[in-house]
Amino acid sequence: MSAHTGYLAFLVHRVSGILLTLFLPVHFFALGSALEGAAAFDTFLAWTERPLVKFAEWGIVLLLAAHLGGGLRVLALEFLPWRDWQKSLAAAAAALALAVGLAFALAL
Amino acid sequence: MPRQASQTVLDVVTYIQRALDATLAYRFACRVGMCGSCAMTVNGVARWTCRTHIDKAVKNENQIEIAPLRNLPVVRDLVTDMREFFDKWARAKGQFRGTRSRNDDFPALKPDTPARVQIDAGIECIGCAVCYSACDVVSWNPDYLGPAALNRAWTLVKDERDSRRTERLRAVAGDAGCHSCHTHMSCTERCPKGISPTAGIAGLKREIASALLGGKL
Amino acid sequence: MTFRAQSLLWVAQRASAAVLALCVTVHLATMVYAIRGGLSAAEILSRTRGSVAWFAFYALFVLAVTVHAPIGLRPVLGEWLGWRGRSRDAFLLVVAMILAGLGMRAVFGMFL
């Protein structure tokens, strides 16, 4: 199957969605530990300082940005009047994702 | 086999059948890019073989792989059974039914209304099944009606003269219909007539949403 | 599932996507701000506890996710695993419950 732009955009969108769905329960569960008070949360925050965790966080933000970019592309294709520059939407989505990923990387 | 200038894949297939293997089965008709009968998979891509130059299609070492269209049962060699393709066309209610009789006046249709422009963008489909063959959702979902059937449904949904609009929207909604399109746009990429079924399918999604939320479905 | 229900799923998916586009943008911006500041648990919680606005925002976020993720997963299960029918939809309902449950637990923990 030829890997043209639209197909790649779909694949990134789908795979990032799957990974996010797997990650989210973990994210929610970790945050829920705040119920046990500030001390437990601090322990958790200390754990998040570890480089591997930071890298994973950055990866997850990138996934989120990629999924958002792909999603905006789908919304544009489905709701906006049809134009010939539809292909460049995939590029725009990718650019957006990258930008967000970089911003987050800088902040970390 | 002899290489010639401006040779097409169809030329090659024809040569093979005439000179090398008389049992080879394949379809063609006009051989000038009008009928769509010669559609096959060339190096993994669905295309009209009469409109594919060998020079453009060969990969390394002058190799070319010619296979029958994907997503359709193979009758023999390069010939596929097109029945399911056309059955889905019918399931998507791809037939026009008007309300006027021969005794009524002609409807006055302007060619430049937004609806008509959209219809015209999709109406040249000749049912060659290249889009159907290119679509991964068709491969993954056996019930999926496919880009051609949905595109045709779209051209009729937008047609003010047609009387089966609601029936048709019902036929193309849901998992087997337009909602399974994931905008890969392989159909648009490969359509030899330059049609964008993705556009028509997006239109169907919008029409169905309006009808559904307006209680008209 | 009827074609009407399936069409409604599509509408819900796009609607929740629009909500999430907003929520995700706000969330990421907030996180960048918070991380830059190197906030501790006490600091983060002091800002979020008792804030009805933040509670409402994140509750809406969780609700949108609860709608969006299972509906998004549905075609993946059908197309790539061949899993269709009632059992798939039952499974997805369970996924939704888990997301809602864990999500609201987190939201309550942060804000109340």
**Residues of chain C predicted below pLDDT 50:** none
Contact assignment for C32 to A24 by CB distance below 8 Å: no
Which chain B residues are Cβ-neighbours of C83 within 8 angstroms? none
The residue from B18, B46, B80 where one domain ends is B80
B69 in the same domain as B58: yes
Contact: C103, A28; criterion CB under 8 Å:
yes
pLDDT tens, position by position, B18-70: 999 999 999 999 999 999 999 999 999 999 999 999 988 887 777 899 999 99
What's the pLDDT score for residue A74?
92
pLDDT for the residue A37: 66
Residue B171 placed within a domain: yes
Identify all chain B residues contacting C75, using CB atoms and an 8 Å cutoff. 180, 182
* pLDDT band with cut points at 50, 70 and 90 for residue A38: low
One domain for residues B66 and B25 = yes
Q: What is the mean pLDDT of residues B194-206?
A: 96
B70 and B88 co-located in one domain: no
Clarify whether residues B194 and B93 are in a common domain.
yes
CATH architecture of the region A5-107? Up-down Bundle (1.20)
Indicate the pLDDT class of residue B185, thresholds 50, 70 and 90. Answer: very high
Residues B195, B137: one domain? yes
Mean pLDDT computed over B162-187: 96
Non-local (6+) Cβ contacts of B119 within 8 A are B155, B158, B159
Residue of B nearest to C75 (CA): B180
CB distance A14 to A71 below 8 Å: no
The minimal CB distance from C32 to the residues A17, A44, A107 is found for A107
pLDDT of residue A108: 55
Tens of pLDDT along A64-92?
888 988 998 899 899 987 666 666 766 67
Does residue B4 fall inside a structural domain? no
Neighbours of chain B (3+ CB pairs under 8 A): A, C
- Are the beta carbons of C3 and B180 separated by less than 8 Å? no
Q: What is the pLDDT of residue A30?
A: 79
Q: Lowest-confidence range among A10-14, B61-65, B91-95, C35-39?
A: C35-39
What confidence tier does B165 reach under pLDDT thresholds 50, 70, 90? Answer: very high
According to the model, what pLDDT value does residue A33 have?
75
pLDDT tens digits for range B64-84: 999 999 999 999 999 999 999
Distance from the C25 Cα atom to the nearest Cα atom in chain A, whole angstroms: 9
For chain C, say whether B175 makes contact (Cβ under 8 Å): yes
Asked if A86 reaches chain B (Cβ–Cβ under 8 Å), the answer is yes
ipTM field: 0.89
pLDDT above 90 (res B206):
yes
Is some CB atom of chain A closer than 8 A to the CB atom of B184?
yes
What ranges do the domains of chain C cover?
Answer: 3-111
CATH entry, C3-111, from 2.40.160, 1.20.1300, 1.10.10, 1.10.3470: 1.20.1300
pLDDT confidence of residue A86: 65
CA-to-CA dists, residue A42 to A27, A48, C46, C48, angstroms: 15, 10, 13, 15
User: Degrees (nearest 5) of the Cα angle A33, A38, A39?
Assistant: 90
Residue-level pLDDT at A20: 95
C-contacting chains (≥3 CB pairs under 8 Å): A, B
Instruction: Check if B205 contacts A (Cβ < 8 Å).
Output: yes
- Structural domain tally of chain B? 2
Query: Is pLDDT above 90 for A2?
Result: no
pLDDT class for B131, splitting at 50, 70, 90? very high
pLDDT the model gives residue A106: 65
Give residue A69's region: left, alpha or beta (phi > 0; psi -120 to 50): alpha
Angstrom distance (rounded) from CA C1 to CA A63: 31
Last residue of a domain, one of B80, B105, B123: B80
H or E segment at B39?
strand B39-42
Does residue A35 carry a pLDDT above 70?
Answer: no
- Domain identity same for B53 and B93: no
Residue B158 is part of a domain; what is its CATH number?
1.10.1060.10
User: Is A102 a residue whose pLDDT tops 80?
Assistant: no
Query: What is the amino acid identity at position B101?
Result: S
In a shared domain, residues B95 and B202: yes
Full domain range(s) for residue B52: 9-80
Neighbours of C44 (CB within 10 A): 18
Considering only CB atoms, which chain A residues are within 8 Å of B185? 4-7, 86-87
pLDDT score for A26: 86
Do B217 and C78 make contact, defined as CB atoms within 8 angstroms?
no
How high is the mean pLDDT of chain A? 79
Q: Where are the domains of chain A?
A: 5-107
- Are C41 and A100 a contacting pair at CB < 8 A? no
Contact flag B184-A10 (C-beta cutoff 8 Å): yes
